[in-house]
Chains A and B, each alone.
Chain A
Amino acid sequence: MTTMTYEQAMEEFDPVFGIEVHVELNTKTKMFCGCANEFGAEPNTQVCPVCLGLPGAMPVTNDKAVESAIRLGLALGCSIRESSRFARKNYFYPDLAKDYQISQYDEPTCYEGSLDVVLDDGTVVTIGIERAHMEEDAGKNTHVGGTGGIQGADYSLVDYNRGGVPLVEIVTKPITGMGARTAEVARAYVATIRDIVRALDISDGRMEQGSVRADVNLSLRPKAVAGESQDDVPFGKRSETKNVNSLRAIERAVHFEAARQASLLLGGQPVVQETRHWHEDTSSTTPGRSKEEAEDYRYFPEPDLLPVEPSREWVEELRSTIPEHPAKMRARLREEWGFSDLEMRDVVAADALILIAATVQAGTTAQAARKWWMGELSRVANDREVALTALPVTPDAIAELQGLIDEGKINDKLARQALEGVLAGEGSPAEVVASRGLEVVSDDSALEKAVDDALAAQPDVLAKIQDGKVQAAGAIVGAVMKATRGQADAGRVREIILQRAGVEG
């Protein structure tokens, strides 16, 4: 069989793709019960009869989840259905306690939207949104024995803490005409969704924790021949690659699937319409559920839940809370902050934009905020191997820290020590400065004594300064800083030295 590259595949065929993104909402409780919606608890400690699917248990819809779903729909330009309802999606899998998932089928809450996605070179692509509907998440399976993967496992262990966590599933319309930029557009689309859910503050948007997950549908069709419109060429058979959970993986999954399908087609073999598993380690996909088990979910209206009928007034009220489109906000902030393209790209790549914006909001200059988040804090995050957003420090604390520097209470070096204390959970910057005694020594008598001590230890320095070698003062400044463990105000120390030498600074 011929093996094609992505680029070759794109020369031979016209790609069509679609993406389903699942967003885990950051509500306090689950979609249909009052169990806590929190990542990382001991297994099966956030479960109750409702989310375990015990007989007789009745679900009740979480109002906040409905609000979040509507706000997300509005941010995606969707219409909000006046009356929508839940449906049961029936299938068997151990992580699904009830043997059906409560979802929405023919009446999703949000439908027919569109989203502008900005590519790296500034090109804007408009993605059609088919629907955004509410549903519940499944539990988590751990496969034991065998190869550790889903195939060849001896048995599985199930934790239902995640079962019933509210999700919004966003489904695009088929996206055509992107050619070789398909992978880039797919990635940029998911990145935009992630940015939007974070800006809406309806999800933590952490792909690495699975709070934003994507399924990538891709098919290839022949390129139109002369005189034929590409739109008239029917779509090819598609594959659906499940759970592609990083931006880089989205791009790679598109690359792999396009190349795989092109190789099959050029070899005269059919592409099978199927679900495929993504393998991060090898950047490849393998077949999932078999063809014979064609999906038949036997959806029907959920009899235990009532319709969701948001009033028009409420929808308009929610519309007024929708933040600016992330790409437009980036352009505006770049302008306001006076960052270079490169600085801005680094900030966005480091996920520091919202953090810097919040720090600026709290009263810090953009450059100072950038210096903290892209400098010291990025270094710490890197050392700890966590996301910048996961560091135990808030933008307000950084603004406070910078404020202490600006007031002259601490210098840069002391500020780094104070930050260390903040990151260690010792309190706010002001509290750490107080408890660790980090304040700059600006008390002149203390400084004068330290200067005199240093001058006494290096008696030739005064003469050198009086001789016009003012830079010799540096040695005394250094000695004073050392003696005060960096807590002296270096500028003031220099002034005192020059006074002692009888020279104007």
Chain B
Amino acid sequence: MSSLERSDVARLAALARIDMTDADLDRLSGQLAVIVDAVAKVAEVAGEDVPATSHPIPMANIHREDEVRPSLSQDDALAAAPEAEDGRFRVPQILGEEA
């Protein structure tokens, strides 16, 4: 039984700002469900003695000193921006859909 519903996929797509057709949703909810279910098998295999882990290598505290390193120039920073103005990234109207 799939743990992932079609409505879940539609909601995730909306949250991720991805436009999906009905056909996309049908196809992807099937495929994603297979993946989610496969991963869920791990939970069945892992016993009480296996701690939850978020990183494959048991390391911690890899920090850096608080020392300033060179930044990009403004030109380099903006080089890949579709639009720029006054040294800033120019982006479409924000919250237009809610105004």
Chain A residues near B (Cβ < 8 Å): 27-29, 33-36, 42-49, 52, 60-66, 83, 85, 90, 92-94, 141-144, 150-160, 289-290, 293, 296, 298, 301, 303, 306-310
CB proximity of B50 to chain A, nearest CB, Å = 16
B43 within 8 A of A: no
* Partner pick for B77 among A47, A150, A290, CB 8 A cutoff: A47
Is the CB–CB distance between A61 and B62 below 8 Å?
A: yes
Most buried by B among A60, A290, A306: A306
Do B93 and A85 touch (CB < 8 A)?
Answer: no
Known contacts A42-B87, A157-B86, then 7 further A-B pairs from the complex at CB < 8 Å, ordered by chain A residue = A45-B71, A45-B74, A45-B77, A61-B64, A156-B90, A308-B61, A310-B61
The residues of B that contact A92 with a CB separation of less than 8 Å are 17
Q: Tell me, rounded to whole Å, the shortest Cβ–Cβ distance linking B52 to chain A.
A: 9
Interface range for B: 35 or more
- Give the 5 A-B residue pairs with the shortest CB-CB distance, closest first: A34-B69, A301-B54, A64-B66, A157-B88, A63-B63
A94, B89: Cβ atoms under 8 Å?
Answer: yes
**Complex alpha-carbon distance, A420 and B87, angstroms:** 37
CB-CB contacts below 8 Å: B39-66 with A: 54-55, 59-66
Residues A47 and B72 in contact in the complex (CB < 8 Å), given A28-B67, A61-B63: yes
B94 pairs with A141, CB closer than 8 A: yes
**Please, which residues of chain A bring their CB within 8 A of the CB of B62?**
60-61, 306
Chain B residues positioned under 8 Å from A290 (CB to CB): 98
Give A83 to B93 CA distance when docked, in angstroms: 41
* A28-B68 CB under 8 A given contacts A60-B62, A152-B99, A157-B89: yes
Contact B71 A35 (CB under 8 A): yes
Task: Judge whether B94 and A93 touch: CB under 8 Å.
Answer: yes
Partner of A62, one of B55, B66, B71, B74: B66
Chain B residues with CB under 8 A of A303: 54-55
Whole-angstrom distance between the alpha carbons of A61 and B99 in the complex? 38
CA distance A52 to B17 in the complex (A): 20
Task: Indicate whether B21 reaches chain A with its CB closer than 8 angstroms.
Answer: no
Any A CB within 8 A of the CB of B73: yes
**Residue B85, interface by CB 8 Å:** yes
With A42-B74, A52-B77, A307-B60 in contact, do A29 and B68 touch (Cβ < 8 Å)? yes
CB-CB < 8 A to B55: which residues of A?
301, 303, 306-307
| Contact of B86 (CB < 8 Å), options: A43, A63, A307 | A43
Q: What B residues does A62 contact at CB under 8 A?
A: 63-64, 66
Given contacts A34-B69, A60-B63, A63-B66, contact A155 B91 (CB under 8 A): yes
Known contacts A44-B78, A151-B99; is-contact A36 B63 (Cβ 8 Å): no
Q: Which residues of A contact B64 (CB under 8 A)?
A: 34, 60-63
| B residues less than 8 Å from A298 (CB atoms) | 12, 15
Structural contact, A143 and B94, CB atoms closer than 8 A: yes
B67 touches A34 (CB 8 A): yes
**Whole-angstrom distance between the alpha carbons of A35 and B64 in the complex?**
12
Contacts of B98 in A (CB 8 A): 151, 289-290, 293
Contacts of B91 in A (CB 8 A): 94, 155-158
Q: Contacts A29-B66, A34-B68, A156-B94 hold; do A142 and B88 have CB atoms under 8 A apart?
A: yes
Task: Mark contacts of B4-23 with chain A using CB atoms, 8 A cut-off: 1 yes-contact digit, 0 otherwise.
Answer: 00000001100101000000
Q: How far is the CB of B29 from chain A (nearest CB, A)?
A: 17
* B67 near A45: Cβ-Cβ < 8 Å: no
List, in ascending order, chain A residues with CB within 8 A of B38's CB: none
Taking CB atoms, residues of chain A closer than 8 Å to B85 are: 144, 157
* Measured CA separation A64–B54 after assembly (Å): 24
Cβ contacts under 8 Å, B77 to chain A: 44-45, 47, 52, 160
- Cα–Cα distance between A142 and B84 once the two chains are bound (Å): 13
Centre residue among B11, B68, B73, B90 by max chain A CB count within 10 A: B68
User: Within 8 Å CB of A65, what residues of B?
Assistant: 66
Give Cα A65–Cα B62 distance, bound, in whole angstroms. 13
Is B95 interfacial (CB-CB < 8 Å)? yes
> Chain B residues with Cβ under 8 A from A60's Cβ?
62-64
A93 — which chain B residues lie within 8 A by C-beta? Answer: 94
In Å, the complex CA distance between A34 and B69 comes to 5
Contact A36 B90 (CB under 8 A): no
Could you write out 6 A-B pairs with CB less than 8 Å apart? A34-B67, A60-B64, A94-B91, A141-B94, A151-B98, A306-B59
Residues of the B chain whose Cβ atoms lie less than 8 Å from the Cβ of A301: 54-55
A348 CB, min distance to chain B CBs, angstroms? 31
Question: Closest B-chain residue to A159, C-beta based?
Answer: B88
